[in-house]
């Protein structure tokens, strides 16, 4: 299996622009997670899906952030409008089961908002 | 109070020594415990998981869990320079399946 695939790997944009991050989970995994990592706050859970349905979005920082999972093989995280404080590495991860199984991470999308 | 607490380090140990990494968690309902390793600029990768109280060994790594004290640790024996990385502790509760991560402990193994 190719693992969790994220794109783009790097994104540099200007404040106010829309940013869309993409994720393809491992086939057969029922859970998909979006995390944000910064030096100050570490790995923060933003939102997670089970069978394409958002289960918990309490970590989404503001209404500027939205996430969708239209099918089992694709998810997006959108920031509109972006701000410099959104600069971080955004990780997508998937997990195969409910019973506290392992998280498999993508390589991350490094976002820089100028 | 954070869900998972770790000392940020850095923890420096000489090559060949034992490195001891510690983690505490706040939710007594937590049932699964994980240690991830993250090299600079890379994504986290699973090192070990543990579900039951006691020790679990895998090669040079030993995970220890004490649910009464809400404490998880990772021991790395015969530390190698290649072990230099940030180690993240994570916990999960089955019915919510939310993985909470600590901020990580940076380990430096000096040749």
Backbone angles phi, psi at A84, to 5 degrees: -55, -30
Residues linked to residue A34 through DSSP beta bridges, in sequence order:
A47, A92
Residue A105 has pLDDT above 70, yes or no: yes
Query: What six digits make up the tokens of B26?
Result: 């706040």
Tell which phi-psi region holds residue A27, choosing left (phi > 0), alpha (psi between -120 and 50) or beta.
beta
SS3 A111: strand
Please compute the mean of the pLDDT values over residues B13-41 and round it to a whole number: 94
Residue B8 has pLDDT above 90, yes or no: no
How far is residue B83 from each of residues A45, A94, B60, B76, measured CA to CA in Å? 26, 25, 11, 9
How far is residue A63 from each of residues A21, A58, B49, measured CA to CA in Å? 16, 11, 35
Please give the share of chain A, as a percent, with pLDDT higher than 90.
82
Asked if residue B67 lies in contact with residue B51, where contact means CB atoms within 8 angstroms, the answer is no
- Tell me if B104 and A45 make a contact (CB, 8 A cut-off): no
Q: Does B20 reach chain A within 8 Å, measured CB to CB? A: no
Predicted pLDDT at B3? 87
Residue B93 has pLDDT above 80, yes or no: no
Residue A71 has pLDDT above 90, yes or no: yes
Residue A98 has pLDDT above 70, yes or no: no
As a dihedral over the C-alpha atoms of residue A56, residue B63, residue B106, residue B99, rounded to 10 degrees, the angle is 0
Helix, strand and coil percent figures for chain A, each rounded to 5: 5, 55, 45
CA distance A91 to A43: 9
Predicted pLDDT at A61? 87
Q: Which of B4, B39, B97 to mutate to test the interface with A (most CBs of A within 10 A)?
A: B97
Residue B35, Cα to own-chain centre: how many angstroms? 4
Count of all residues that appear for chain B in the document: 111
pLDDT band at A96; cut points 50, 70, 90: confident
Residue A99 has pLDDT above 60, yes or no: no
Please give the interface size between A and B, counted as residue pairs whose CB atoms are below 8 Å apart: 55
pLDDT tens digits, B44-70: 999 999 999 999 999 999 999 999 999
Predicted pLDDT at A47? 95
- Tell me if A98 and B88 make a contact (CB, 8 A cut-off): no
Please compute the mean of the pLDDT values over residues A94-112 and round it to a whole number: 85
pLDDT band at A1; cut points 50, 70, 90: low
CA distance B5 to A113: 29
pLDDT band at A19; cut points 50, 70, 90: very high
- Tell me if A100 and B101 make a contact (CB, 8 A cut-off): no
In the numeric block, the tokens 């090669």 are attached to B59
- Going B6 to B48 to B107 to A39, the CA torsion angle's sign is negative
């Amino acid at each position: 299996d190719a693992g969790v695939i994220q794109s783009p790997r790097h994104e540099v944009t200007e404040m106010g622009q829309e940013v869309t991050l993409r994720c393809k989970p491992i086939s057969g995994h029922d859970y998909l997670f979006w995390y944000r990592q910064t030096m100050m706050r570490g790995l923060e859970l933003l939102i997670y899906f089970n069978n394409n349905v958002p289960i918990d979005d309490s970590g989404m920082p503001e209404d500027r952030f939205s996430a969708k999972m239209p099918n089992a093989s694709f998810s997006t995280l959108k920031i509109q409008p972006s701000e410099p404080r959104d600069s971080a590495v955004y990780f997508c991860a998937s997990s195969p089961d409910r019973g506290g199984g392992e998280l498999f991470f993508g390589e991350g999308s490094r976002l820089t908002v100028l | 109070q954070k869900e998972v607490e770790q000392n940020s380090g850095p923890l420096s140990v000489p090559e060949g020594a034992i490195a001891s990494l510690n983690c505490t968690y706040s939710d007594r309902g937590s049932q699964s415990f994980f240690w991830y390793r993250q090299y600079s600029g890379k994504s986290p990768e699973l090192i070990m998981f543990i579900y039951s109280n006691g020790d679990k060994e895998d090669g040079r790594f030993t995970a220890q869990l004490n649910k009464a004290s809400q404490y998880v640790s990772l021991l790395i024996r015969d530390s190698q320079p290649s072990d230099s990385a940030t180690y993240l502790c994570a916990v999960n509760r089955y019915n919510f399946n939310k993985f909470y991560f600590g901020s990580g402990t940076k380990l430096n193994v000096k040749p």
